Structure 1
Amino acid sequence: MRYLQFTLFVVFSLLMTMGVADDKKNDKPMSHEEMMEVYTKLATPGEPHKLFASLTGSWITKTKEWMDPQKPAVESAGSADIKLLLGGRFLQQEITSSMHGKPYSGIWTIAYDNLLKQYVSTWIDNMSTQIFMMNGTASADGKTITLTGQHAEVGGGYMAHRAIWKIVDGNAQEFTMYGTHHGGDEMKMLEVIYTRK
């Protein structure tokens, strides 16, 4: 309960700061009721979340992975179970596949943040203890989402990533990821084709 109270205090403080900055012309601080109204609007799922809802269900995945751009891709088949979380505010993809001949599973959670006006995602899997985060924007129709992020690499430094998630329609998706190792050239690392079961 104390954690919830602290979290709400922080959110309200941030909203108050925003309200004060927006209302500087009027020199009128935002009231508690006005803050609650803004908070309620920000918590309400919008158009991006409706698109998320159209993707729920079971999917077949076909993955190609490149460790070296000069060599053929390693291919694998898998599945994705996609569901909404917390009243349609977040989309979760639970992926089951194989990687380097070993069972592979991961969870991708993606959100559209109404306050930041951007997409935010996290990825966790059974081959790492890292939480990989990316954020980005969508095309005008909302169906092509470009995300960027980075993660720490073995041997030092960070790998930069760029991902393009295309929602072709309610029965097809494509996810492509590019990466840059140790400041080198960007290369295509991953391609996942989703087909609804």
Structure 2
Amino acid sequence: MSKSKFEISLESGVHHRLQALTGSWEGSTKTWFEPGVLADESEMKGTIKPILGGAFLLHEYQGSLNGKPFEGIAIYGFDIPNNTFQSAWIDSFHMGTGLMVSNGTPTENGFSVLGQYSVPEYPAPWNWRTTAELTDPDTLIITAYNISPEGEEDKATETIYKRVS
């Protein structure tokens, strides 16, 4: 019997490359609320583990933001039939009671996904682009960019993780 596309991906494709993100991570997160004005830098700890047989990764993280506890969860996956990276993200600060679903593409060492959010104060939705790049086997950089309705893109957060296990 031949292998499924998922089994092949898990052995040597995108899902295999995704597995390189698994582990325990520690580092720091920088946050900007205004372009070029660093608002906070604090420690961050996270774990990334495979779920549903390696079809997805679960990223759980915690730290602080402006001295207050902060935590979040993201699920990352690759949809083989549609050749699309996907993520679902919640956290205790940025998303409030909302969930952001993002879609994008694989990159050489990770992925880039684009989601959208809106709040009553802003008449037009904003975009949120997230990239994850494994720059070496023990360094993971997750960066998010806020994109205005006019298309101006500014760095919002950047987490630089080092593998601890």
Q: Is the 8 A contact 2:30 2:38 kept in 1?
A: no
Distance 1:94 1:71, change over 3 A: same
Q: Is the 8 A contact 1:172 1:194 kept in 2?
A: yes
Q: Does 1:178 align with 2:115?
A: no
**CA distance in structure 1 between the partners assigned to 2:119 and 2:137 by the alignment:** 36
Q: Does 1:117 align with 2:83?
A: yes
**Deviation of residue 88 (structure 1)?**
0.7
The residue that corresponds to 1:101 in the other structure is: 67
What is the TM-score of this pair, normalised by structure 2?
Answer: 0.85
Q: Does 1:41 align with 2:8?
A: no
Where in structure 2 are the equivalents of 1:1-197 lying within 5 Å?
41-44=4-7, 46=9, 47-127=13-93, 128-139=96-107, 141=108, 143-156=109-122, 157-183=124-150, 185-197=152-164
**Deviation of residue 113 (structure 1)?**
0.6
**CA distance in structure 1 between the partners assigned to 2:83 and 2:41 by the alignment:** 35
| Range with bigger deviation, 153-162 or 79-88 | 153-162
Structure showing greater relative contact order (alpha-carbon pairs closer than 8 Å, 6 or more residues apart): 2
**CA distance in structure 1 between the partners assigned to 2:22 and 2:152 by the alignment:** 36
Sequence identity (%): 31
Distance 1:119 1:67, change over 3 A: same
Q: Which amino acid aligns with 1:71?
A: V
What is the TM-score of this pair, normalised by structure 1?
Answer: 0.72
**RMSD (CA atoms):** 2.1
Unmatched 5+ residue regions in structure 1? 1-36
Q: Is the 8 A contact 2:30 2:39 kept in 1?
A: yes
- Runs of at least 4 residues off by over 4 Å: none
Unmatched 5+ residue regions in structure 2? none
Q: Deviations over 1:18-41 (max 9, x none)?
A: xxxxxxxxxxxxxxxxxxx9xx83
Greater per-residue helix proportion: 1
Q: Tell me how many residue pairs correspond in the alignment.
A: 158
